[in-house]
Amino acid sequence: MPFGWGESQDAYNQVQSDDFNNQSSFGHEALAGAASFGAFKVFEDRQRADGKPVSHQFAKEMLVGLAGAEVDKLAETKGMDFIDREKAKHHAKENVENMYDQHYGQQDQYDPNNQGPPPQLDGY
């Protein structure tokens, strides 16, 4: 089951803490949650700066790509093997698509001028 906003935000906060590098076990699902939240932050910042609407398909593809890059970055710091990294990417894909649908699924397309960012991103 994919992580939602709250679980992803908690995982992101844990990854951003000073203790993250001292933790020996950080599961691929939690890493995927952190990557999903981080990817959504990057996506929102970029799209809101650009100010142009995009299709749901494009938005999701962009989020999946950003989440994969975040997984690679975080997995590198944890020394994850290839299999765990791929599992994390799979979970991150499910997470960002789920998070996107929760916030923007009821609209015809992603339009930064019609709806504000998810409130969970406030303060990041």
Q: Which of these, 49, 123, 58, lies nearest to 97 by C-alpha position?
A: 58
Residue 53 lies in a domain: yes
Residue 59 lies in a domain: yes
Query: What is the C-alpha to C-alpha distance for residues 6 and 98, in angstroms, rounded to an integer?
Result: 12
11-28 burial: b if 16+ Cβ within 10 Å, else e:
bbebbeeeeeeeeeebeb
Residue 85 lies in a domain: yes
Residue 87 lies in a domain: yes
* Structural domains of the chain, count: 1
Residue 44 lies in a domain: yes
Residue 120 lies in a domain: no
Q: Could you read off the pLDDT of 19-57 as tens digits, one per residue?
A: 655 454 567 788 888 999 999 999 999 999 999 999 999
Q: Could you read off the pLDDT of 75-111 as tens digits, one per residue?
A: 888 788 899 899 999 999 999 999 999 999 888 999 9
Q: Which domain holds residue 56?
A: 5-17+28-114
Residue 69 lies in a domain: yes
Q: What is the pTM of this model?
A: 0.81
Half-sphere exposure of 51 (CA within 13 A, CB side): 1
Residue 23 lies in a domain: no
pLDDT at 69 over 90: yes
